[in-house]
Amino acid sequence: MESELKIDQKLGKIEEDINNLKSIIINLIQKPKKNIKLKGLLKGISVSEKDIKEARKSMFKIGG
């Protein structure tokens, strides 16, 4: 009986966590996206095609 209660409590917590995650995801999807201008932030810095390719590689690298 006691172990069933513990399992029910754990399942209740998991269900609550899932509902919280759902709410967070829905809010993120529904929020309008804001464009951020970087003009002036990178003055004096040059970015080459090689830099861009390396950044893409590291961004989409799976499994570190």
pLDDT at 35 over 70: yes
pTM over 0.75: no
Amino acid letter, residue 51: D
Range of the domain at 14: 1-33
- What is the number of domains present in the chain? 1
Using one digit for the tens of pLDDT, what is the confidence trace for 2-28? 788 889 999 999 999 999 999 998 888
12-18: long-range contacts (C-beta < 8 A, 24 or more apart)?
Answer: none
Where helices occur in the chain by DSSP H, the ranges are 2-30, 49-59
Q: Is residue 62 part of a domain?
A: no
Q: Is residue 7 part of a domain?
A: yes
Q: Is residue 26 part of a domain?
A: yes
Distance from chain centroid for Cα 10? 25
CA 8, CA 54: separation in Å to the nearest integer? 48
